[in-house]
Structure 1
Amino acid sequence: MHTLCKALLWCAACVLAGCSDGGPKVILPQYASPASAEPAHVLILGIHPLHNPGRLDAMYGPLVAAVSDAVPGVTLRLEASRDYAEYERKLRDGRFDLALPNPYQTVVAAAAQYRVFGKVARDDDFRGLIIRRRDSAVSQPSDLRGAAFSCPARTAVAACMLPLLWLQQNGLDVRRDLEVREVGSQESSILNVVQGRVAAGATWPPPWRAFQKDYPELAAQVEVLWQTDTLPNNSLMARRDLDEALVSQVAQALFELSSTPAGQALLERAEIAGFEPANALTYAPVGVMLDRYRTAIGELR
């Protein structure tokens, strides 16, 4: 036993000392310390309910991931909302770090907590579309008297407010003669028309294009009957307490998407042309429209 212990001690010494008797050296494993990864600054981006949550993630998720990759130390996390009311509550509570609200939400719901730093490009794309089934007899606004009309929500600017204001200005008493059904999303508004649940409905160009691509057979049953005037497109906003240098980095990454083929593909997937700088003054025309709306139709419920 004594001899065995001595032998074990000798082996251990050889391992530690490398055995200087001419035999092969035993190399102990080296454990590298893990690379120190700088924790990402997670910014929550809230996009208003342009589409249902699943569709919104499919269209904007890759774009958000690309911006995260372009800004060192920053991770953008997309957060959807069930409907317009929930989204507007989150804006008022300052839930998001960054937001992409519609023009009404920009000047009303978000103004206290957020500042405008950019917007979606192509204001000519921000208009209301009033659609009907191709086999419908509706041909003038008065034909909708007493009928049902679908829209995502009363605070959907292009897809409800502008169409209702257009109908009011073209001879239909919207408050008295139209049953406005708030159905929660752009897809639902279009589908209500397809299925004949309403005489007509409202949407706007990006979701209408997406619907035509995704459901061509259904879209073929519907046509655009009237279009409204335009307004400044959806805004990009940052919560007022967010570091300005950080916001500038994210803004630059968003603005540069349209300058590369890869970025253009991401924008096309989201059915938008790109992003561009803007500020609060950009949305002055929205205040004018809201005054006209209140005078013609009344306060939003």
Structure 2
Amino acid sequence: MRQQCNLNSDMKKICFNFFVVLVLWTPFLTHSECIGDIVAKKSYSVYVVPQTAISQLYSYWVPLLESLGKRSNQCFELIVPATIPIFEKQLLNGKADFAFVNPYHAVMAFKAHQYVPLIADGKNKLDGLIVVRADSKINELKDLNHSKIAFPAPNAFAASLLIRSFLMQKGIKFEPIYVKSHKNVYWSVMTGDVPAGGGVNNTFFREPDEIKNQLRILYKTPMFMPHPFIANPRVPPSVQQAVQNAFLSMKNDPALTEILNNVQIPDPIAVDYRKDYMPIDKLILEKFAVSSENQ
């Protein structure tokens, strides 16, 4: 019989603390049941970069993969690692059959294992943001000199790599503080733990008004193609094509509008590595990247 927590206040605290410890010590969480076509002969893993709360990502991606699997006649297993560095390590080890990754991860995965970008959102390009508190006295980038700046992770593309490289080019010295997710960045700035933080438009504008209204955008990076859904080359080409076609067909179904928007792909379009993501490799961001072994 599954044990349940009693509802008195002491037991609530104990249960909550146990849950927090469990989450912190779990390197990744999986949805091991088949999502999609339950009669499919094989299950394919789908790794999702943990930009926001893991529970939120599961609530968004399970319905998406359910529809995608039924349309493509495939079965999926959803895996969301606890942190971005753990996600990177699993990705670069080639564990993911499919993955939803940031643009720089797409470059890393292509170089490591020739992962193929299948689709990305065609509606919203990705730009990095530096945010400060709405009432902050910081009004220019030079005001950040010798400040602590929060970032989700070293290799978060627009929220970290682009911003750090730009600030260094401008001669602005700062101490990077890595807080594991975009949500944690916004919260850290809002609560005054740090004077500024790096994020992206696709996560910032999805935050509740009570958070957005307490923050102000200080700087925006140039725009790039957003996060792609990529495939390991070991996945048969016919399966890759079926998944890509299924994604493209989903935008024509009004019932799936909210589901697609939740996973930051409101308008799926086909993408190509050389045209859409190779230009990022030419930015020479390697000197700002950090190996997953050192994070």
TM interval, shorter chain, is 0.7 to 0.9
Which whole-Å CA distance do the structure 2 matches of 1:235 and 1:107 have between them? 11
Can you list the C-alpha shifts for 1:180-230, whole angstroms capped at 9, x where unaligned?
Answer: 111100100110101101111011112112213xxx223211111211101
Q: What letter matches 1:45 in structure 2?
A: V
Q: Hey, what does 2:280 align to over in structure 1?
A: 286
Which whole-Å CA distance do the structure 1 matches of 2:262 and 2:273 have between them? 28
Instruction: Provide the secondary structure at the position in 2 that maps to 1:125.
Output: coil
Q: How many pairs are equivalent?
A: 252
Can you list the C-alpha shifts for 1:237-277, whole angstroms capped at 9, x where unaligned?
Answer: 21111111111111111112111101222112223323221
Offset, 1:52: 2.5
The 5-angstrom pairing of residues 47-58 of structure 1 reads 47-58=48-59
Offset, 1:279: 2.3
**Structure number, greater radius of gyration:** 1
Offset, 1:124: 4.7
Q: Hey, what does 1:29 align to over in structure 2?
A: none
Q: Hey, what does 1:148 align to over in structure 2?
A: 148
Q: Hey, what does 2:91 align to over in structure 1?
A: 91
The 5-angstrom pairing of residues 231-270 of structure 1 reads 231-270=224-263
Q: Quick check: 2:119–2:270 contact (8 Å CA) kept in 1?
A: yes
Can you list the C-alpha shifts for 1:52-108, whole angstroms capped at 9, x where unaligned?
Answer: 311211222211111112122x21222101112111111122211111211211112
Can you list the C-alpha shifts for 1:147-193, whole angstroms capped at 9, x where unaligned?
Answer: 11011011000111122233334x343xxx20111110010011010
Which whole-Å CA distance do the structure 1 matches of 2:43 and 2:117 have between them? 19
Percent sequence identity over aligned pairs: 21
TM-score under structure 2 length normalisation: 0.80
2:42 paired with 1:41: yes
2:211 paired with 1:218: yes
> In 2 relative to 1, CA 60–39 (structure 1 residues): closer, same or farther, beyond 3 Å?
closer
2:205 paired with 1:209: yes
Which whole-Å CA distance do the structure 2 matches of 1:285 and 1:116 have between them? 15
The 5-angstrom pairing of residues 26-175 of structure 1 reads 38-72=39-73, 74-122=74-122, 124-169=124-169, 171-173=170-172
Partner residue of 1:192 out of 184, 188, 192: 188
Q: What letter matches 2:150 in structure 1?
A: S
TM-score under structure 1 length normalisation: 0.78
| Runs of 5+ unmatched residues, structure 2 | 1-37, 291-295
Instruction: Provide the secondary structure at the position in 2 that maps to 1:259.
Output: coil
| Runs of 5+ unmatched residues, structure 1 | 1-36
Instruction: Provide the secondary structure at the position in 1 that maps to 2:251.
Output: helix
Offset, 1:126: 0.6
Q: Quick check: 2:48–2:101 contact (8 Å CA) kept in 1?
A: yes
Can you list the C-alpha shifts for 1:106-144, whole angstroms capped at 9, x where unaligned?
Answer: 112453324324231237531101110011110111111
Structure 1 runs of 4+ with >3 Å offset: 37-40
